[in-house]
Amino acid sequence: MTKDQKNEVIELLKEKFNQYNNFYITDTESLSVEQVTNLRRSCFDKQVEMKVAKNTLIRKALESLDSEKYAGLFESLNNVTALMFSENPKDPAVIISSFRKANTGDRPTLKAAFINGDIFVGDNSLVALTNIKTKNELIGEVIGLLQSPAKRVIAALLNHAENGSTATETEVVAAAVEVVTEAAPVAEEVAAPVAEEVAAPVAEAEAPAAPEAAAE
């Protein structure tokens, strides 16, 4: 590979690292050509980009962007490395787990993952990564928390009307307000990190694909 070709790969990798907040570093050594093809197909179906490149070029790309930010990943750059880029933080983990079950093996192995600024190292992190809550899932939980008090209020009002309660309307409304007030701090606590996540910049459009470098 010429110097210009190496620089081209480095620039492509830099674009991908800038584009995605989530990427996995995996070891695909010992996988057959057919298995790699099937893995790529699984990634494509989940809109996960899979790129194979030399470890030295991956490291240079990361160092040129922010060597301190990505320092925890450098020791994982060994053997054959396939990168998986994804908007969804847990999709690559799900793909890896499903692929290993289908092929009764331990490849690809998770060497490390960078998830929204957090670094996970080692294959033993795979289970935890498959259980990560996505942005939409967190938002759904917040909506559920916000809806729960409203449902309880409606149930209380219906119960009041159906059972001919002696409580005055004022008392029922006061009880309803109390229910909502009690639930508000919980909803705010969950909503805060979600709101911060939603406010994060949207990743730039996918850059055109370029020739991949041979694995080191």
Chain segment 64-96, per-residue pLDDT in tens: 999 999 999 999 999 999 999 999 999 999 999
CB 89 within 8 A of CB 128: no
**For the chain, what percent of residues have pLDDT higher than 90?**
58
Q: How many residues does the chain have?
A: 216
**CATH class of the domain at 3-130:** alpha beta
* Displacement of CA 51 from its chain's centroid (Å): 18
Q: Which are the contacts of 179, defined by CB distance < 8 A and separation ≥ 6?
A: 149, 152, 153, 156
Any idea what DSSP says for residue 114?
E
Q: For residue 205, name the pLDDT band (cuts at 50, 70, 90).
A: very low
| pTM given for the model | 0.66
Is pLDDT at 208 greater than 60 in this prediction?
A: no
pLDDT tens figures, 106-156:
899 999 999 999 999 999 999 999 988 766 665 666 676 666 666 666 666
CATH 3.30.70.1730 positions along the chain are 3-130
Is pLDDT at 199 greater than 70 in this prediction?
A: no
**For the chain, what percent of residues have pLDDT higher than 70?**
62
* Displacement of CA 4 from its chain's centroid (Å): 33
How crowded is residue 109: how many other Cβ atoms within 10 Å of its Cβ? 19
CB 110 within 8 A of CB 23: no
Q: For residue 215, name the pLDDT band (cuts at 50, 70, 90).
A: very low
CB 90 within 8 A of CB 129: yes
d(CA 11, CA 6): 9
Residue 119's SS3 state is: strand
